[in-house]
């Protein structure tokens, strides 16, 4: 199994669920994490990543960490200072249309969105609300482009787009697609040589559907235009994602693998969860399992079954622990003398 991993945690793209997979694997195998200094949950985001943002990094005696997975704005030469040269790099993408709708709800308080009553209103005259110089503006346009380290306000020329896609291809071994999460986990499992249970997860940091609204065709086109760079990234890597499946696994085997994954997930849900699924924040009985609530989104969580034996309870709890709580616990374990 591969143990040196860089995960670029792109915002609002099922990346918290992927992070839980990495946290559990790292904890089980006693791996070290490249934590933000002081144990926060972002590596000085939205600044470009620098090695000195990592707790315990020193240029004089550079320590290599196994897993780098907290929010950062990608800058590979700096990332290379904190992980081994053989590290596997991967990230996850989401359809920019859904990404922007989610972003609008989640980051409603940030500059560009706060003054618009609705996403529709924002898109009717984006430059009335959006100023690239404002802090937090990156949440409102080409957010994936930004997280990968590029300029979200760059011109959209064919040449520029090609250079950006090439740069991502050169840096990353695999790009997952959140709309095909189960297929993504199968690809990840294959690439990392992990077993099935290592990539099983329950969806984390997802919001209640009551805050989601369907988008008209006009809105969809406006979102694509406004996030043209993100759209180019998504279209390209959605295509290479399926090419890779055809080349390395084949559709039939992929179907079997996905079926096995879903069956195992359902089995774990029956074992671990009260009522089989996620519940609203008010209905989460154990406050230590309550996810951070942010913006206008209602973030769901889980209740564990009562009366589980100790080993099962431990396994189940790790599957449903929200990222901030899990990150803090792992930070304390790695740096026992420092409280996050």
pLDDT digits 0-9 by tens, 82-95: 999 999 999 999 99
Using pLDDT thresholds of 50, 70 and 90, give the confidence band for residue 295. confident
Under CATH, which number does the domain 5-207+216-249 receive? Answer: 3.40.50
Using pLDDT thresholds of 50, 70 and 90, give the confidence band for residue 110. confident
What is the reported pLDDT for 172? 98
pLDDT at 61 over 90: no
Contact 309, 14 (CB under 8 A): no
What is the reported pLDDT for 62? 81
pLDDT at 225 over 90: yes
What is the reported pLDDT for 298? 87
Hey, is 93 helix, strand or coil? strand
Residues 6+ apart with CB under 8 A from 147: 8, 9, 10, 11, 73, 74
What is the reported pLDDT for 297? 79
Q: What is the chain's mean pLDDT, rounded?
A: 95
Using pLDDT thresholds of 50, 70 and 90, give the confidence band for residue 117. very high
Joined together, the tokens standing for residue 55 give 């707790």
What is the reported pLDDT for 325? 96
Surface-to-core class of residue 16, CB atoms within 10 Å of its CB (0-12 exposed, 13-18 middle, 19+ buried): buried
Contact 83, 65 (CB under 8 A): yes
Give φ, ψ of 100 to 5 degrees: -70, -40
What is the reported pLDDT for 340? 58
Using pLDDT thresholds of 50, 70 and 90, give the confidence band for residue 276. low
Total-model pTM = 0.96
What distances in angstroms separate CA 126 from CA 27, 93, 133, 225, one per listed residue?
44, 23, 14, 11
DSSP 8-state symbol, 285: S
pLDDT digits 0-9 by tens, 23-57: 999 999 999 999 999 998 999 999 999 999 999 99
CA dist., res. 285 & res. 82, Å (int): 39
CA atoms within 13 A on the CB side of 57: 24
Q: What is the mean pLDDT of residues 225-229?
A: 98
CA dist., res. 92 & res. 97, Å (int): 15
Domain residue spans in the chain?
5-207+216-249
CA dist., res. 109 & res. 192, Å (int): 38
What is the reported pLDDT for 211? 75
CA dist., res. 3 & res. 22, Å (int): 10
pLDDT digits 0-9 by tens, 143-168: 999 999 999 999 999 999 999 999 99
pLDDT at 339 over 80: no
């Amino acid at each position: 199994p591969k143990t040196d991993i860089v995960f670029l945690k792109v915002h609002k793209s099922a990346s918290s669920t992927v992070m839980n997979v990495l946290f559990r694997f790292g904890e089980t195998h006693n791996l070290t994490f490249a934590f933000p200094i002081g144990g926060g949950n972002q590596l000085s985001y939205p600044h470009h990543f620098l090695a000195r943002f990592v707790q315990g990094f020193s240029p004089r005696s550079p320590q290599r960490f196994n897993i780098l997975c907290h929010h950062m704005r990608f800058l590979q030469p700096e990332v290379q200072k904190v992980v081994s040269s053989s590290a596997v790099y991967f990230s996850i993408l989401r359809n920019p249309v859904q990404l922007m709708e989610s972003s609008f709800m989640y980051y409603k308080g940030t500059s560009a969105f706060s003054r618009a009553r609705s996403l529709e209103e924002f898109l009717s005259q984006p430059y009335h609300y959006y100023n690239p110089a404002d802090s937090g503006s990156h949440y409102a346009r080409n957010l994936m482009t930004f997280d990968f380290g590029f300029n979200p306000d760059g011109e959209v020329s064919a040449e520029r787009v090609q250079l950006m896609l090439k740069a991502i291809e050169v840096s990353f071994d695999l790009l997952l697609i959140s709309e095909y999460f189960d297929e993504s986990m199968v690809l990840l499992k294959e690439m990392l040589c992990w077993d099935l249970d290592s990539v099983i997860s329950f969806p984390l940091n997802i919001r209640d559907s009551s805050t989601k609204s369907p988008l008209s065709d006009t809105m969809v086109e406006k979102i694509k235009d406004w996030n043209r760079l993100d759209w180019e990234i998504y279209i390209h890597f959605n295509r290479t994602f399926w090419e890779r499946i055809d080349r390395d696994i084949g559709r039939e085997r992929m179907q079997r693998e996905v079926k096995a994954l879903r069956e195992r997930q359902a089995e774990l849900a029956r074992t671990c969860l009260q009522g089989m699924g996620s519940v609203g924040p008010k209905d989460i009985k154990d406050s230590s399992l309550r996810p951070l609530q942010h913006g206008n989104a209602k973030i769901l969580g889980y209740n564990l079954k009562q009366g589980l034996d100790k080993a099962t309870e431990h396994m189940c709890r790790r599957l449903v622990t929200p990222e901030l709580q899990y990150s803090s616990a792992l930070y304390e374990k790695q740096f026992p003398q420092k409280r996050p």
